[in-house]
Structure 1
Amino acid sequence: MTERAYHHGNLREALLTRAWATIDDDGLDALSMRQLARDVGVSHGASARHFADRTALLDAIAVTGFERMNATLAEAVTSEPTFDARLRAAGLAYVRFAVEHPAILDLMYKAKHHPDASPELLELSRASMAAVVALVAESQAKGEIREGDVERQALVVFAAVHGVAALATDDLLDGVAWQDAAESTIAVVLGAFAAD
């Protein structure tokens, strides 16, 4: 990346792309602001024009992470016609994202709890749970699942799927493929939600 490219407005994206790759490949501890600037071919001062400090950069990476994850989940849900199929598709998409980007997912959840988390990050971090609440409410209204406290049922869905993701990324599934663990967990949740 050249200084000329920076003046054309590409530096922020280049920094985000390189930072994402560094964290994704080597973990958060591998990220250095000075090395990041060197990697994209600019001075540390040039990169600081876009990200005042590491916290600002991490916030922006977390925003990107939630944007990508939310888009993946939305695509999974809209591609299926029934509650069972939609929940399964979304659950598998969530666990797949976690398995493919464990360090990024960890950063996303840590960054949203940082005192300086941006309003954009906070809003995006709530979107996936809001989508689960909407899915449960819609499915109850259609009679696809049993009636109950919508937010509590959505919380059960999130806890179950996130639990599989955490076990998979921490290598605690004792040789069980994450896909099999996710499928089994989702099947249990679907059984508990089945309409009478």
Structure 2
Amino acid sequence: MTDKPFHHGNLRAVLLERAEAMLREDGLDGLSLRELARQAGVSHGAPRSHFVDRQALLDALIERGFTRLTNDVRRALSGHGSQRARLGRVAQAYVDFAIDDAALMDLMFLAKTTGLPPASRDAAAGLFQVLDEAMGPSDQPSQDPSSRVSFTLLFGATMQGIAALVSSHRITREQGDSLVDEAMDVLLESRLGTRAIAQ
């Protein structure tokens, strides 16, 4: 608990940061508005000025998570190098986030998109837009738009699967990094990869 006063306008950000930490430490079941208020050092009613209920808090965390992951992926994509190198960096950024923020990642992808508020849905769509951009220009004659969608979904599923193996201690982080590299070779050399990626 802290006696430090919050400046007007920053309580929401403070609450979300604390909620992320609680999610990381105690899991979804340990996250409540009352406990969040206690740990943030504010009155029990203070969080409700920003989150009308627990679901509103979870929705905000989902939006925040997708925004952060999208920013991580975008930074990884911004460097120079071959298409393979750029996609490899994107893959590693995705897996690193999914390992380091496993509970948040679970929350982000367990939520049904039909029940999410527009801001959270838009944040999720932004991630997949950047993953699509990672495949290069989409106007090549040899490319199949449906293959790009399938490749993006398979890419995400593969990287989340690797991250889950690391998070559950089935494999080491070093083994996970090696699997990311090997998975990229398999994906890019597949028929799907050939149809989806700008050559």
Q: TM (normalized to structure 2)?
A: 0.83
Count of residue pairs brought into register by the alignment = 190
> How big is the shift at 1:136?
2.6
Q: 2:187 aligns with which of 165, 189, 196?
A: 189
> How big is the shift at 1:137?
4.8
Superposed CA RMSD in Å reads: 2.6
Give the aligned partner of residue 41 of structure 1: 41
Which consecutive unaligned segments of at least 5 residues does structure 2 have? none
Q: Say if 1:161 and 1:182, in contact at 8 Å, map to a contact too.
A: no
Q: 1:153 aligns with which of 148, 157, 168?
A: 148
Q: Say if 2:132 and 2:152, in contact at 8 Å, map to a contact too.
A: no
Give the aligned partner of residue 128 of structure 1: 127
Q: Distance in 2 between matches of 1:22 and 1:14?
A: 12
Q: Distance in 2 between matches of 1:161 and 1:184?
A: 15
Q: Distance in 1 between matches of 2:131 and 2:106?
A: 20
Give the aligned partner of residue 24 of structure 1: 24
Which stretch has the larger CA shift, 164-173 or 20-29?
A: 164-173
Secondary structure in structure 1 of the residue aligned to 2:45:
helix
Q: Distance in 2 between matches of 1:114 and 1:3?
A: 39
Q: Say if 2:33 and 2:44, in contact at 8 Å, map to a contact too.
A: yes
Report Cα offsets for 1:90-135 as digits up to 9, x if no partner: 01110111011111011112335262x2211101101121222233
Equivalent residues in 2 for 1:27-176 (5 A)? 27-111=27-111, 113=113, 115=115, 117-138=116-137, 141=140, 147-170=142-165, 171=168, 174=171
Q: Distance in 2 between matches of 1:174 and 1:93?
A: 18
Which consecutive unaligned segments of at least 5 residues does structure 1 have? none
Counterpart amino acid of residue 178 in structure 1: G
Counterpart amino acid of residue 187 in structure 1: D
> How big is the shift at 1:154?
4.1
Q: Say if 1:83 and 1:139, in contact at 8 Å, map to a contact too.
A: no
Give the aligned partner of residue 177 of structure 1: 175
Q: Distance in 1 between matches of 2:90 and 2:46?
A: 40
Give the aligned partner of residue 5 of structure 1: 6
**Identity over aligned residues, as a percent?**
32
Q: TM (normalized to structure 1)?
A: 0.84
Distance 1:150 1:133, change over 3 A: farther
Report Cα offsets for 1:65-94 as digits up to 9, x if no partner: 111100000010111332211111101110
Counterpart amino acid of residue 134 in structure 1: E
Secondary structure in structure 2 of the residue aligned to 1:165:
helix
Distance 1:17 1:99, change over 3 A: same
Q: Say if 1:51 and 1:57, in contact at 8 Å, map to a contact too.
A: yes
Counterpart amino acid of residue 83 in structure 1: Q
Secondary structure in structure 2 of the residue aligned to 1:81:
coil
Q: Say if 1:70 and 1:128, in contact at 8 Å, map to a contact too.
A: yes
